[in-house]
Amino acid sequence: MNPTPRPDMSANAPSITVDLPTIKVPDHPQWPALSTAEKEALKTEIKTLLKQRNAVLVAHYYTDADLQALAEETGGCVADSLEMARFGAEQEAETLVVCGVRFMGETSKILNPEKQVIMPDLAATCSLDEGCPADQFSAFCDQYPDHTVVVYANTSVEVKARSDWVVTSGIALPIVQHLAERGEKILWAPDRHLGHYVQHISGAEMIFWPGSCVVHEEFKSVALERTRRLHPNAAVLVHPESPQNIVDQADVIGSTTALIKAVKEMKNREFIVATDGGIFYKMQQMAPDKVLIEAPTAGEGATCVSCAHCPWMGMNSLQNLAQVLRSGENAIEIDPAVRERAVKPIQRMLDFAKTHGIGMQNKGNA
């Protein structure tokens, strides 16, 4: 696997002023520790309930390792958000149990309207989604009627409904390149770091909604330089939601799935990983002989997200998964009219992937 070309991001796009809402980042949930016997009992109960409800478990790479393992053991899947939704569409199960954050449950529901989609905690959201309220975003779009609206998957169903294209980080670049070749100007939302990365590779004319992921923003460049000096043979893997000074130090820049692939395929023994630490479960599973090092964050004493673990992803646990399966609560409901508009830009992306031979199976987002 060749190193990713580093973009020259020195020439920044014109900045747009938007009054972003204040995002309340929750504390990391402190789940009561379970004994081995308690954990096994819960897993057994969850397996039974999945069968009784004709349900399948789909979990994101950033969730707790126990949940990822359980999804795999029960014939579910562990993937990025789009693949989670696509997997759900292929299942005969009547219920999809989505362990992740809310926009993932919504995307599953958009693509599988006839199925019941439930989640362990509907309050598990995402700073990108929270930081892009639909009414404000719609007003922003109205100011640029000549721009094609491209939004990242980490958005609400209403924001998707206002867009022309939905993209994941794995397919954002080819779609933006395609639009740029057609001479289209692009309004990008909500992650500005991913947007700038895509712009500097594609050369597209773009304006940006100034959102960001609170987890990836915490990676610190000076500390990363120090870590690289301590591990000179380590490859640096970076998710493009990270700030520019982190992307600048990357050997590989890519989606969750691309980073997992890099650990498996690159010859290096050590990897410094700048994305949510939940991904280590799958990386270690795919390449047990490799050494994974968390990229440094602001560290102790800073905000709760400085541990490189998304606090919203942390709202998923064995305990509340069992509870939601017992009760059948926390169903995702979407207004059919909004769903009808939101599915179009998602379908456009899927059709583009098919037409251009871009396999979505291994294309990640979030």
Residues that bind ligand SF4 (CB under 6 A): 62, 101, 126-128, 154, 213-215, 241, 276, 310, 312-313, 366
Q: Which two tokens stand for residue 333?
A: 């409901």
* Residue 119 vs 128, nearer CB to ligand SF4: 128
Taking the complex as a whole, the smallest distance from the CB of residue 91 to ligand SF4 amounts, in Å, to: 23
Coil, strand or helix at 48: helix
DSSP 8-state class, residue 211: B
Contact in structure between 358 and 145 (CB atoms under 8 Å): no
Taking the complex as a whole, the smallest distance from the CB of residue 215 to ligand SF4 amounts, in Å, to: 4
* Residue 80 vs 180, nearer CB to ligand SF4: 80
* Residue 127 vs 268, nearer CB to ligand SF4: 127
Contact in structure between 305 and 324 (CB atoms under 8 Å): no
Tokens 């980080």 found at = 169
Exposure class string for 303-326: b at 16+ Cβ within 10 A, else e: eebbbbbbbbbbbbbbbbbbebbe
Quote the crossing angle between the two packed helices 172-181 and 192-202, to the nearest 10°: 50
* Residue 63 vs 268, nearer CB to ligand SF4: 63
Contact in structure between 63 and 346 (CB atoms under 8 Å): no
Distance between CA atoms of residues 186 and 267, nearest Å: 38
Taking the complex as a whole, the smallest distance from the CB of residue 7 to ligand SF4 amounts, in Å, to: 20
Q: Which helix (H) or strand (E) holds 60?
A: strand 55-60
* Residue 154 vs 163, nearer CB to ligand SF4: 154
Taking the complex as a whole, the smallest distance from the CB of residue 355 to ligand SF4 amounts, in Å, to: 28
Distance between CA atoms of residues 99 and 319, nearest Å: 12
Taking the complex as a whole, the smallest distance from the CB of residue 2 to ligand SF4 amounts, in Å, to: 26
Taking the complex as a whole, the smallest distance from the CB of residue 332 to ligand SF4 amounts, in Å, to: 16
* Residue 204 vs 274, nearer CB to ligand SF4: 274
